[in-house]
Amino acid sequence: MTDEKTAVWALTEIKGLGPAGVKKLIEKFGSAAAVFDSIAADYRDDDGASKAVIGHLRSKKDWAAIEERMRQAIPPRAEMIAFSDKNYPSKLKNIPDPPPYFYYKGDLKCLEGPSLAIVGSRKPTDYGRRMTAKLAGELASGGVTVISGLAFGIDAYAHEAALEAGGSTAAVFGCGLDYIYPPAHGDLAEKIARSGCVISEFPRGTRPERFNFPIRNRIISGLSDGILIVEAGEKSGALVTAAYALEHNRDVLAVPGSADSRLSFGPNDLIKQGAVPVTTVADILANFGWHNSVNSVRRNVDLSILTKEELVLYNQLSIQPIHLDDIAKKIKMGPARLAELLLNLEIKGLILRKPGSLVVRT
């Protein structure tokens, strides 16, 4: 009997049989191996495949060579999972065109519980960064897996906030797992794999080409219960992910933004079309009915997560707004280092930025 993973791989090598076709065949016959073992007796032209595809299915196969090609495609230190595997994520399995197989590092169990994709601009505003850090952190601390695409901007802030909260997060690559894109997120990718998982349907050696990212966006949507758009311009890739979410019958949520900000076009327009407006994590929990199934959101401040410099800075702040210049004078710190530490505290959900260069504790 043909090995199941090898059989799935062999199906994907057939020209004209895309992910949707592979899914149809596996569901019809019960497994990929059964497709090849039963094809002569059970498959008919009216099952929807072209004569060319049927011919490929019936042709003699060099299974050893196919298995070797499959093995060579698996990225270093990664695992491969096939559509017919019992551990294949159930949410992803139910979209129209799930990847017949994908590669991963980490633990796929985090994808079976409540999950939300958070995506948006690669160059967010201060408001976008704050809202992403706050919402992602509170969701993750409450047991919701945060899913995104490892990109600069909203993606990275969502991943980092989930990690800081001690929760699970998953990143979907638009290239092979042997490429980290952007390269600056190498350490972040390793942390994500330890807390959750990193995923790609692209084989070893696949570079981060532009046309790969819309393809991977369907996986971000497929793995999630819904998708939250924080900031997105009129032609943002985040809106492509939102479109997939609608196709997949996933809820679309959006953080409303200023009417005069170009990065608010995407979320504001989605809200006009019926997306769920989100201003607090309670809006998200209420939408999905997660109040009874997700742990309570952590409220106590855990100062042990702070570095010595972060703690010194945090102790200078209060619930009363204080100007950045006054903070700098108090702790005698340069503007660049101060900005970095403030961003760290913001990602950890301990401070908020206010208009006029003011900062307060949450």
pLDDT value of position 298: 44
Q: How many domains does the chain have?
A: 3
Q: Residue 159: name the closest of 125, 124, 126, 197 by CA.
A: 197
Same domain, 255 and 320: no
Rounded-to-integer distance, Cα 179 and Cα 341, Å: 29
Question: Are residues 339 and 251 both part of a single domain?
Answer: no
Looking at 260, 288, 316, the residue that finishes a domain is 288
- For residue 310, tell me if it sits in a domain: yes
Judge whether 294 lies within some domain. Answer: no
Q: What pLDDT sits at residue 294?
A: 52
Structure tokens at 351: 């401070």
68: its two tokens? 């070797």
Is residue 143 within 8 Å of residue 113, measured between CB atoms?
A: yes
Give percent above pLDDT 90 in the chain. 60
Interval 117-149: pLDDT, tens: 999 999 999 999 999 999 999 999 889 999 999
pLDDT score of 163: 94
pLDDT digits (tens, 9 = 90+) for 283-309: 999 898 886 445 544 445 667 788 888
- Residues 127 and 208 occupy one common structural domain: yes
**Where is pLDDT greater, at 36 or 145?**
145
**φ/ψ of residue 346, rounded to 5:** -70, -45
Query: Is residue 219 included in any domain, yes or no?
Result: yes
Task: Say whether both 39 and 149 belong to one domain.
Answer: no
274 with 336, same domain: the answer is: no
**Shared domain check, 246 and 142:** yes
Domain range spanning residue 60? 1-73
115 and 29: one domain? Answer: no
Residue 244 lies in a domain: yes
In this structure, what CATH number is given to the domain that contains residue 250? Answer: 3.40.50.450
CB half-sphere exposure, 37, CA atoms < 13 A: 14
Picking from 73, 100, 128, the residue at the C-terminal end of a domain is: 73
4 is a domain residue = yes
Percentage of the residues of the chain whose pLDDT score is greater than 70: 92
Confidence grade of residue 77 (pLDDT, cut at 50, 70, 90): very high
282 and 314, same domain (yes or no): no
pLDDT score recorded for residue 296:
45
pTM of the model: 0.78
Cβ-proximal residues to 116 (8 Å cutoff; 6+ apart), any chain: 139, 144, 145, 146, 147, 224, 225, 226, 227, 228, 253, 284
**Whether 264 and 167 share a structural domain:** yes
Segment among 36-45, 78-87, 135-144, 180-189 with least mean pLDDT: 36-45
